[in-house]
Structure formats: structure tokens, C-alpha cells
């Protein structure tokens, strides 16, 4: 029989049961997707609640992106479970002291909120399509009107109030959801690498920069595909947002690391051995130097020089891609990195990524990309472009 | 759209939205109540399951016992009969990476600052035994000048405040009234949060069953008045088990007659495995 368990090589002293990595790359993908949801929602809120007019061209796309990714958030978890058919046990009979048990409730609440906000935002479009389209598509939109085809100014006013209210509720919901994901790691005292009060807030800020970056990339790509000029004001708005939040994210991560080193509790020697050894490239080079400091400096330069035109489009897009990569590395370094440091504080393990299998690299890539496929379908059904009828509510 | 149509429709929609808002409020209140409910029990950390007829041993009353485990590291000879007995008794996968109990060896070699630590799962020891199904400690230090050496048996600590129980999303892991932390394999979803949360590395994930597993102090034996398998087979009495409610039980005497300590006391888990004769490096 083929070995179903992967044993990790190690150095130093580790507990015998630790030689199996229980949380795979999929558990790094899970907070990555959740973070993109929260970050994309931030953009939507900046427009809907805080009146950042220049973000109007991406406001609807932000909602669709958030929804597309949120629908896929549970998939890495379900693939990881030993008994996925029992997944609802944690919702039907939640154990109230468990951070994980509440996930189903938070996630469901947030999905409902997103769908509701999306429905209000797209209602004029849905009504219009229901009247215009025939056949199956007409029936589909007709069903989505939920029996209300009133798009009078009075009705629109009510709708706008709802959108505003839902966007306001959505801010703590989206950010709470992701901060809570950080709490799931930060609250575990068994691992020094995770056990930090700063963890939820670090997760939150990295989520914001990843979601905003994703929208910047999606926006530029969508403009290219639709052969329309990129709204530089909007792109600059996204760039400013990334720039502002990346600073906070960097400071928080630095503080977190400084805390571990400065407190120097039992096991710090192994942590230092780890960060200066196996983690040097993924942590200091890829996550920080390449993924965070480079885009930060580049964005700062562009803001300082007032860069515009193609240089701005290329610059922001590349920076956004780097940030997306950096945040994935952050998830990796937390989830996989945490398990590579033994609970004994006296040894290190190394995770070997397999490409095949249900928890392998290919599935991880597929799950990260799948929401983009859904997003494509959603943009066909509900065009988010500012030049379409969808913006009756703007 | 006709103007007169819009008013009733608008009212109908308002009604619908009002109901929706009501439902959302109720849901919010429920979540809020649930959260508040969680607050006091976070510190208590465990909930005893209801007494039920499903209990396997009819004449066993779990309110009358409080089990405890003692390890006298000064007696352990590292024969590993406990490890093999446990694997056999509890159907633990026969490999060198999944254990309900294991034995650690600490060796101080003259001139070396760091203590050398291994367990029966160490590749050198597996090579010496020739199989992942039988265990022995290789005589790897026979040519070294050993200053000090000792063995430390390890197992689940059946903590009074178990991290695994705290984090289990379904309550499949729970602490019984007689002080044993168990797993309901029929309810465990296999998320492995408990494996991550245990500070002692006492849990492993059974891939074939799709559930977490760990030492139960042989609950199926102790509720029938027997000793856990590892205690039963220990030839030197390094493992001690008994009822802490019975003042003359082996564990009560062990705790009373020795200066005992627990592992990683700073975690706040309040373990119920008590150690004698371990050194500063043991955690």
C-alpha cells in the first residue's frame, strides 16, 4: 500500500508526533483567500461609505470580487478535513470555546451580507435586464428581481440607504472575519511563532493590501481586455491605499518579530536559527524585500514624482502583483513556518510541498485561481463597469 | 413602469426588508448570546458531556473517580515495552511517527554544553530495531563519556484545562467527569486544530480513520478496574496510575510522598501527569 502519510525530515529534537505536517499548503491558501475578500471589500467601502469618488470604476468589481473569493473560502478547509461530510457538525453543534467553530456563522453572515448588498447595488440593472432579455436569461433576471421591478427615484433612495447601511455593517464584518482568522493562529499558545496578540491585526492589514492590490491588477487587466483607457485617477487612488496600508503592515510585522527576539523566551535560539537559515529566503527576501519593501519604495517614488501615464499603470500593476505575492508568502510563513519550528523549542522540521494529491500545490493553485473564473462569469451576468447601467446607484 | 404600480410595490418591498432586518437582528442577537455564553466557559474550558445510557460500563460511576498518572523517571530503563503495549492495545498505526505514548532519552556527554535528546522514533533507533513496528534504543553512546543520562516516558497529560478541548470546533474532544480527555471518533471532523493546539505533541492524526487520536489512559480498561496497558507492562514501576479521590491509591501516594512536577506548567493547562526525577531540559 502506498504511504498515505508524509514524514518530515528534522534536525534537533522534535516530538515524535510532530514529524507529520498536519496543516498543508491549503491551510495557507485559506487565510489568503479570506484576506483577499476583506481587502476587496475595503475598496468597496471606501467608495460606498467614505465617498472616495475616484474609486467608483472599481466599486462594483470590488463587491463581485469579494463575493467570488468568499464562495471559495471554505473549499481548502473542506478538502483538508478528515471527514468533510461532518463539516456541519461545527455549525450544528458548535463548541463555543473554539475559535474555529464560529467560522461557519461569521462566513455565512458575511456571504449573506455580500449577496444582499450586491443585489441592491445591481437591482436597477437586474430590473432592466429582466424586462429586456428573453428566454432563460430573462427568467434568470426576472427571478432575481424578487418580484420588485420598482426603480423609481423613491425606491432608489431606499436602496441607497440599504447599500450604505450594508456597507457600514460590512466593514466590521469583513475585517472582523479576517481578524478572526488571525486570532485562530494567534490564540494558540503551543507555538511561539503563532502565539502573538498582534497576529489578528497583522492578518488584517496584510489582507487589506492584498485585496486592494488584487483589484488594481483586475482593474488594469479588465481595461486592457475591454480595450478602454485605464482611469488613472482610480488607479492612483488604489495605489495610495496600498501605499498607506503597506506601511502599517510592515511596521506591525517588524514589531511582531522584534517582540519575539527581544522577549527572548525559551526556544528563541531555535527561532533565530530558523529565520536566519531556512526562513531567510521566504521571509526576509521574498516576503519583505521583494514583496513589501520594493513595492513600497516604488510606490513612494511614483507618488513623489507624480508619475502618470503608462509608467503609472505598469508601476502600480507590478507593485500590486508583488504585494499579492508577498501576502501569500506571509500566509505560508505563518502556517507552514509555524509548524516547522518544533513545539519542543529544540528542533526544526522541513515541509516538503507535493504538487499532486488533494492537498498538493496544484490544488492550491487551482483553488486560488478558481474565484477568478467565477468572477469572470459574474462580470458577464452583472457587468461591474462604471460605464454600464449598473451604476444607477452611483 | 406605471407610477401607480410603484407605491404598493415599494411598500411590499419595505415590508419584506423590515422582515429581513428583523431576521438579521434575531440572528445577531443569537450570535451575541452565544458569544456571551462562551465567555465564562472559556476559562472553565471544558463541559462535561451528559450522563447517558451509552456509557459502556454499566456499574461504573464516573463521578466517584478522579484519575491521575505518575511517572518516576528515575526508574525508567527505556525498554519501550510501554510503547509497544500501547500500540497493540489501542490499534495505534505501526509506524515511527504516530504514538499515544513515547519515551525520551536525555544524555549529557562530557564536554558538550547541549543535552542530546532522542526518542524511540529517532531514525538511528529505528535502524537499530530494524523495523518501525518494534522499538528499541540503539546503544549509540557506548563509546562516549556520559556524564548523566535518563529516560522520560511521555503521554497525554489529560490536562484540567486542555487546549485541545478548548479549540475543538465540534466538541468531539471533551473531558470526562473522572478527569480523562477523550475523543468521540464518530463526531470528529478531522480538522486537526487540536493537534496544533496541544503544547505537548501528544496528539496525532489517524489518516486512515480521518480523525485525531491520542492516549485515553486506556479508558476502556480503567473503567473496568484494570490498569492502563503501559502501566501494566512496565517492569520497573516507572508508570503509576490511580484514583486521586482514593487517598491510598498508588497515584495519591506517589504525589504525597514525592516532590512532583508537571510539564510546561507555564502553559496553564494544569496537567494530570505528574513527574519525578526529570531535569531542567525536559518539556
Query: Three cell numbers at A33?
Result: 483567500
The length of chain B is 283
| Per-residue model confidence as pLDDT tens digits over A296-348 | 999 999 999 999 999 999 999 999 999 999 999 999 999 999 999 999 999 99
Residue contact A19–B121, C-beta within 8 A: yes
**A159 has a pLDDT exceeding 70:** yes
Q: How far is B248 from chain A (nearest CA, A)?
A: 34
Beta-carbon separation of B97 and A17 below 8 A:
yes
Among A8, A19, A28, A95, the residue to mutate for chain B (most B Cβ within 10 A)? A95
Write out pLDDT tens, residues B107-149: 999 999 999 999 999 999 999 999 888 999 999 999 999 999 9
Instruction: Label residue B21 by pLDDT band (50, 70, 90).
Output: low
Distant-in-sequence, close-in-space partners of A211: CB < 8 Å, separation ≥ 6? A35, A36, A37, A38, A39, A40, A41, A42, A43, A65, A66
Coil vs helix vs strand at A11: strand
Q: What is the pLDDT of residues B163-205, one digit of tens each?
A: 999 999 999 999 999 999 999 999 999 999 999 999 999 999 9
Confidence of residue B13 (pLDDT cuts 50, 70, 90): low
Q: Which one of B14, B38, B204 has the shortest CB-CB distance to A158?
A: B14
Query: For A21-39, what is the mean pLDDT?
Result: 95
The minimal CB distance from B6 to the residues A17, A150, A191 is found for: A150
| Mutation target among A5, A9, A13, A16 for the B interface, most CBs of B within 10 A | A16
Q: Which residue of B has its CA nearest to A106?
A: B31
The pLDDT assigned to A107 comes to 87
CB-based burial, B146-158: b 16+ in 10 Å, e otherwise: eeeebbbbbbbbb
Give the CA distances from residue A25 to residues A76, A330, A332, A365, in Å, rounded to whole numbers and listed in that order.
9, 12, 7, 10
Q: Is A20 helix (H, G, I), strand (E, B) or coil?
A: strand
* Alpha-carbon torsion angle B135, A6, B156, B263, nearest 10: 90
User: What is the least distance, in Å, from the CA of B258 to any CA of chain A?
Assistant: 26
Domain-wise residue ranges, chain B: 53-93+157-283
Binning pLDDT at 50, 70 and 90, where does residue B40 land? very low
Q: Which CATH class is domain B53-93+157-283?
A: alpha beta
A186-234 confidence digits (pLDDT tens)? 999 999 899 999 999 999 999 999 999 999 999 999 999 999 999 999 9
| ipTM for the assembly | 0.92
Tens-digit pLDDT profile for residues B215-263:
999 999 999 999 999 999 999 999 999 999 999 999 999 999 999 999 9
B198–A190 CB contact, under 8 Å = yes
CA distance B154 to chain A (A): 10
DSSP secondary structure code for residue A360 in this structure: S
Q: How far is CA A248 from the centre of its chain?
A: 17
A151 in Cβ contact with A124 (< 8 Å): yes
Which cell numbers hold the place of B36?
456571551
Residue A386, class by beta-carbon neighbours within 10 Å (0-12 exposed, 13-18 middle, 19+ buried)?
Answer: middle
Binned at pLDDT 50, 70 and 90, residue A267 comes out as confident
* Domains parsed from chain A with CATH numbers: 10-393 (1.20.1630.10)
- Classify burial at B142, counting beta carbons within 10 Å of its beta carbon; exposed 0-12, middle 13-18, buried 19 or more: exposed
Whole-Å CA distances, A137 to A127, A372, A381, B51, B64: 12, 22, 9, 56, 68
Which of B201, B210, B267, B268 is the best residue to mutate to test the A interface, defined by the most A CB atoms within 10 Å of its own CB? B201
The mean pLDDT of B47-68, rounded to a whole number, is 73
Is A22's CB within 8 Å of B192's CB?
A: yes
Whether A83 has a pLDDT exceeding 80, the answer reads yes
Quote the cell numbers at residue A385: 463597469
Mean pLDDT of all residues in A272-286 = 95
CB contact under 8 A, B1 and A77: no
Of A17, A103, A116, the CB nearest to B204: A17
Residue pairs between chains A and B whose CB atoms are closer than 8 Å: 183
Per-residue b/e over A160-192, b at no fewer than 16 CB within 10 Å? bebbeebbebbbebbbbbbbbbbbbbbbbbbbb
CB atoms within 10 A of CB A258: 10
* Rounded-to-integer distance, Cα A179 and Cα A174, Å: 9
Residue B20 reports pLDDT greater than 70:
no
Per-residue pLDDT for B39 more than 50? no
Which of B27, B120, B189 has its CB closest to that of A83? B189
pLDDT tops 50 at residue B35: no
Tens of pLDDT, residues A2-14: 445 678 999 999 9
| Average pLDDT, rounded, for chain B | 87
Q: Match 496600498 to its residue by C-alpha cell.
A: A242
Amino acid at each position: 500500500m502506498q504511504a498515505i502519510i508524509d514524514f518530515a525530515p528534522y534536525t534537533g529534537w522534535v516530538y515524535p508526533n510532530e514529524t507529520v505536517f498536519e496543516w498543508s499548503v491549503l491551510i495557507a491558501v485559506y487565510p489568503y483567500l479570506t484576506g483577499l475578500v476583506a481587502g476587496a471589500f475595503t475598496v468597496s467601502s471606501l467608495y460606498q461609505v467614505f465617498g472616495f469618488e475616484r474609486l467608483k470604476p472599481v466599486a462594483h468589481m470590488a463587491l463581485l470580487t469579494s463575493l467570488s473569493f468568499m464562495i471559495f473560502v471554505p473549499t481548502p478547509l473542506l478538502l483538508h478535513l478528515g471527514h468533510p461530510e461532518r463539516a456541519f457538525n461545527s455549525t450544528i453543534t458548535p463548541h463555543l470555546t473554539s475559535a474555529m467553530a464560529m467560522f461557519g456563522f461569521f462566513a455565512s453572515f458575511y456571504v449573506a451580507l455580500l449577496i444582499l448588498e450586491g443585489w441592491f447595488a445591481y437591482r436597477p440593472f437586474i430590473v432592466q435586464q429582466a424586462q429586456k432579455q428573453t428566454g432563460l436569461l430573462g427568467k434568470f433576471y426576472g427571478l432575481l428581481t424578487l418580484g420588485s421591478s420598482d426603480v423609481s427615484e423613491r425606491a432608489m433612495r431606499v436602496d441607497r440607504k440599504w447599500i450604505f447601511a450594508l456597507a457600514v455593517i460590512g466593514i466590521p464584518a469583513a475585517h472582523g472575519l479576517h481578524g478572526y482568522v488571525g486570532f485562530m493562529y494567534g490564540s494558540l499558545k503551543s507555538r511561539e511563532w503563532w502565539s502573538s496578540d498582534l497576529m489578528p491585526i497583522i492578518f488584517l492589514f496584510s489582507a487589506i493590501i492584498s485585496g486592494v492590490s488584487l483589484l488594481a491588477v483586475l482593474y488594469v487587466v479588465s481595461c486592457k481586455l475591454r480595450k478602454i483607457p485605464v482611469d488613472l485617477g482610480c488607479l492612483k487612488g488604489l495605489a495610495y491605499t496600498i501605499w498607506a496600508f503597506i506601511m502599517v503592515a510592515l511596521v506591525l510585522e517588524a514589531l511582531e518579530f522584534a517582540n519575539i527576539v527581544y522577549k527572548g523566551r525559551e526556544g528563541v535560539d531555535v527561532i533565530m536559527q530558523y529565520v536566519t537559515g531556512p526562513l531567510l529566503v521566504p521571509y526576509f527576501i521574498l516576503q519583505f524585500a521583494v514583496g513589501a519593501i520594493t513595492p513600497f519604495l516604488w510606490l513612494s517614488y511614483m507618488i513623489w514624482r507624480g508619475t502618470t501615464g503608462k509608467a503609472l499603470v505598469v508601476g502600480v500593476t507590478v507593485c500590486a502583483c508583488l504585494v499579492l505575492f508577498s501576502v501569500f508568502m506571509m500566509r505560508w510563513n505563518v502556517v507552514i513556518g509555524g509548524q516547522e519550528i518544533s513545539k519542543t523549542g529544540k528542533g526544526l522540521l522541513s515541509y516538503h510541498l507535493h504538487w499532486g494529491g488533494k492537498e498538493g500545490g496544484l490544488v492550491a493553485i487551482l483553488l486560488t485561481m478558481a474565484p477568478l473564473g467565477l468572477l469572470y462569469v459574474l462580470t458577464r451576468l452583472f457587468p461591474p463597469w462604471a460605464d454600464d447601467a449598473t451604476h444607477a446607484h452611483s | 413602469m406605471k407610477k401607480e404600480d410603484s407605491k404598493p410595490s415599494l411598500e411590499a418591498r419595505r415590508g419584506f426588508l423590515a422582515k429581513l432586518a428583523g431576521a438579521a437582528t434575531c440572528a445577531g442577537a443569537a450570535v451575541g448570546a452565544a458569544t456571551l455564553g462562551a465567555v465564562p466557559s472559556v476559562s472553565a474550558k471544558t463541559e462535561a458531556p451528559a450522563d447517558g445510557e451509552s456509557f459502556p460500563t454499566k456499574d461504573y460511576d464516573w463521578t466517584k473517580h478522579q484519575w491521575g498518572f505518575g511517572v518516576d523517571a528515575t526508574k525508567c530503563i527505556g525498554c519501550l515495552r510501554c510503547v509497544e503495549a500501547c500500540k497493540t492495545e489501542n490499534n495505534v498505526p505501526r509506524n515511527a511517527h504516530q504514538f499515544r505514548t513515547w519515551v525520551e532519552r536525555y544524555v549529557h556527554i562530557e564536554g558538550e554544553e547541549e543535552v542530546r535528546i532522542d526518542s524511540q522514533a529517532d531514525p538511528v533507533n529505528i535502524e537499530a530495531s530494524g523495523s518501525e513496528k518494534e522499538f528499541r534504543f540503539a546503544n549509540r553512546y557506548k563509546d562516549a563519556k556520559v556524564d548523566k543520562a535518563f529516560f522520560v516516558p511521555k503521554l497525554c497529560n489529560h490536562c484540567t484545562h486542555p487546549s485541545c478541548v478548548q479549540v475543538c470546533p465540534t466538541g468531539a474532544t471533551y473531558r470526562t467527569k473522572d478527569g480523562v480527555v477523550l475523543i468521540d471518533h464518530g463526531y470528529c471532523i478531522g480538522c486537526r486544530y487540536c493537534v496544533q493546539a496541544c503544547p505537548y505533541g501528544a496528539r496525532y492524526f489517524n489518516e486512515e480513520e480521518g480523525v485525531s487520536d491520542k492516549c485515553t489512559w486506556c479508558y476502556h480498561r480503567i473503567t473496568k478496574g484494570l490498569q492502563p496497558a503501559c502501566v501494566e507492562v512496565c517492569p520497573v514501576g516507572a508508570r503509576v496510575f490511580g484514583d486521586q479521590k482514593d487517598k491510598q491509591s498508588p497515584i495519591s501516594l506517589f504525589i504525597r510522598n514525592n516532590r512532583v512536577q508537571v510539564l510546561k506548567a507555564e502553559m496553564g493547562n494544569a496537567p494530570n501527569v505528574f513527574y519525578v526525577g526529570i531535569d531542567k531540559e525536559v518539556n
